């Protein structure tokens, strides 16, 4: 069975959570004897070592935007070009399925091709890209469909729009349409599905399938419990205000009321905002009582397990509504309990009674409160570590996830 995967980024081009999960899915399907081919954006600097073909040929539209230095001729040419590349790939590979991951950063003119193909199309929805491409139609269709005050300009646009198949030698469609009802898909969380249904009811038949964690990368290690005077915390993720790094400082400022142990916090991740970075580093110049903070920076995902294994708790102080976080899954798989704020991205885990320690967003003493029963690192803590790993083993391994996906999408 042949599967053509379409995505805007594919590792090692970008190694975010979504891209890595796409790669893991392709690897899993390949190991199950599916014939995989990936079509993604250009990057001449990458030497692929995947066991399946990765075609890096499509033009890049960063964050879904057309490069400003492209004039109308270049925009039109690249739109036709990418549709030609897609059709050529389909003719050569002859896939049984299209498997769409994030398509926000590819040509908008390719979207109608993907969603009106005669090939069975499957969609993975782990963020909001589907809603975005349904409303923003790109430099060709967006311009031609945009209303104008001039009646004659509007009429001219209409003629050009309907003539697109002729003008493009058949590579552009005369309408920007997406036949989502004829596709099948999954959302990564109930929150992402609800977000789309508020204005995009066509995808109501997509199911919610939470992702899982790769146990080869994140494996269990039993904690060695001793009477140490140190409590080790771990933060994994982008170092941003939305992810709660400033809230985390306030939590640590108030933790001394609940434990006498010295706190060591390792922060794995990078700053993405210069002003936020400067503000955070300035705040660190004023030491917190009995707290040491180490900014580790970026760590390759293949080495993250080391940080999970050496932490007593992983903390996720997120303040924004994120789709679905894999950090709690990775942490619990390694046997490290997770402390997290109650956000939309955790709702599905909370509903199935995941052994999480939950923070209140507006309570700066909540970290101390939830840690208090476990901070001695004795029997209660050992049980929590084991329960965390058991929860993943029983419900949230990547094999669990891909078994559901393959049975739903690609069953023979």
Count Cα neighbours of 202 within 13 Å in the Cβ-side half-sphere.
13
Residues 79 and 26 in one domain: yes
Q: Which helix (H) or strand (E) holds 394?
A: helix 379-395
Q: Are residues 162 and 286 in the same domain?
A: no
Dihedral angle computed from the Cα positions of residues 146, 147, 153 and 156, in that order, rounded to the nearest 10 degrees? 60
The reply to whether 218 falls in a domain is no
Average pLDDT over the chain, rounded to whole?
A: 91
Question: Is the domain of 207 the same as that of 255?
Answer: no
CATH of the domain at 68: 3.40.50.2000
Segment 53-61 shows an average pLDDT of: 95
For residue 340, the 8-state DSSP code is E
Strand 2-6, strand 207-208: pairing: unpaired
DSSP 88-116: HHHHHH--SEEEE---TTS-GGGHHHHHT
Q: Cα 76 to the chain's mean position, in Å?
A: 30
**Residues 24 and 170 reside in one and the same domain:** yes
CB 103 within 8 A of CB 7: yes
Choose from 44-48, 90-94, 136-140 the range with maximum mean pLDDT. 90-94
pLDDT of the residue at 110: 95
- pLDDT of 161 reads 83
Whether residues 180 and 265 share a domain: the answer is: no
Q: Which of 113-122, 158-167, 382-391, 393-402 has the weakest average pLDDT?
A: 158-167
Per-residue pLDDT tens digits for 339-385 = 999 888 889 999 999 999 999 888 899 999 998 888 777 778 889 99
User: So what's the pLDDT on residue 274?
Assistant: 94
How far apart, in whole angstroms, are the C-alpha atoms of residue 343 and residue 350? 10
Domain that holds residue 105: 2-212+400-409
* pLDDT confidence of residue 227: 65
Q: Identify whether 217 is part of a domain.
A: no
Long-range contacts of 198-207 (CB under 8 A, 24+ apart): 199/131, 200/130, 200/131, 200/134, 202/178, 203/125, 203/130, 205/181, 206/123, 206/125, 207/408
Q: How many domains, in total, are found in the chain? A: 2
365 or 322: which leads in pLDDT = 365
Three-state DSSP state, 391:
helix
Query: What is the reported pLDDT for 302?
Result: 87
Flag whether pLDDT at 56 surpasses 80.
yes
For residue 220, tell me if it sits in a domain.
no
Return the closest-CA partner of residue 264 out of 292, 225, 306.
292
- pLDDT band of 78, cuts 50, 70, 90: very high
For residues 92 and 145, state if they share a domain: yes
Query: Residue range 321-331: average pLDDT?
Result: 89
221 lies in some domain: no
pLDDT at 412 over 70: no
For a pLDDT cut of 70, what percent of the chain falls above it?
A: 99
Same domain, 207 and 172: yes
């Amino acid at each position: 069975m042949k599967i053509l995967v379409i995505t805007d980024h594919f590792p090692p081009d970008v190694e975010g959570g979504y891209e890595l999960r796409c790669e893991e899915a392709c690897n899993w399907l390949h190991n199950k004897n599916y014939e995989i081919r990936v079509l993604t954006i250009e990057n001449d600097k990458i030497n692929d070592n995947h066991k399946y073909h990765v075609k890096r040929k499509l033009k890049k539209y960063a964050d879904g935007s057309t490069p400003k230095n492209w004039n109308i001729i270049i925009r039109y040419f690249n739109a036709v070009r990418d549709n030609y590349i897609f059709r050529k790939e389909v003719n050569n590979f002859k896939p049984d399925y299209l498997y769409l991951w994030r398509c926000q950063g590819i040509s908008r003119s390719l979207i109608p091709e993907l969603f009106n193909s005669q090939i069975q199309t499957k969609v993975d929805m782990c963020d909001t890209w589907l809603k975005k491409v349904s409303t923003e139609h790109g430099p060709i269709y967006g311009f031609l469909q945009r209303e104008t005050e001039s009646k004659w300009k509007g009429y001219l646009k209409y003629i050009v729009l309907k003539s697109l198949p002729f003008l493009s030698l058949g590579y552009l469609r005369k309408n920007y349409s997406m036949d989502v009802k004829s596709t099948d898909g999954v959302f990564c969380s109930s929150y992402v599905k609800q977000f789309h249904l508020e204005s995009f009811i066509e995808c109501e038949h997509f199911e919610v399938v939470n992702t899982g964690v790769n146990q080869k990368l994140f494996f269990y290690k039993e904690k060695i419990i001793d009477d140490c005077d140190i409590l080790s915390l771990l933060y994994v993720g982008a170092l941003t205000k939305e992810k709660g790094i400033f809230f985390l400082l306030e939590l640590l400022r108030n933790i001394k009321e609940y434990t006498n142990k010295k706190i060591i916090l390792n922060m794995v991740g990078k700053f993405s905002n210069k002003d936020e970075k400067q503000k955070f580093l300035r705040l660190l110049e004023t030491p917190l009582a009995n707290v040491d903070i180490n900014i580790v920076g970026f760590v390759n995902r293949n080495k993250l397990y080391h940080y999970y294994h050496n932490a007593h708790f992983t903390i996720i102080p997120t303040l924004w509504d994120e789709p679905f976080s894999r950090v709690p899954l990775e942490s619990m798989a390694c046997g490290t309990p997770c402390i997290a704020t109650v956000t939309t991205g955790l709702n599905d885990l909370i509903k199935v009674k995941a052994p999480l320690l939950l923070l209140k967003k507006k309570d700066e003493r909540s970290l101390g409160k939830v840690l208090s029963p476990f901070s001695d690192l004795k029997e209660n803590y050992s049980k929590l570590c084991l329960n965390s790993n058991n929860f993943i083993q029983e419900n949230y391994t990547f094999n669990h996830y891909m078994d559901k996906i393959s049975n739903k999408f690609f069953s023979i």
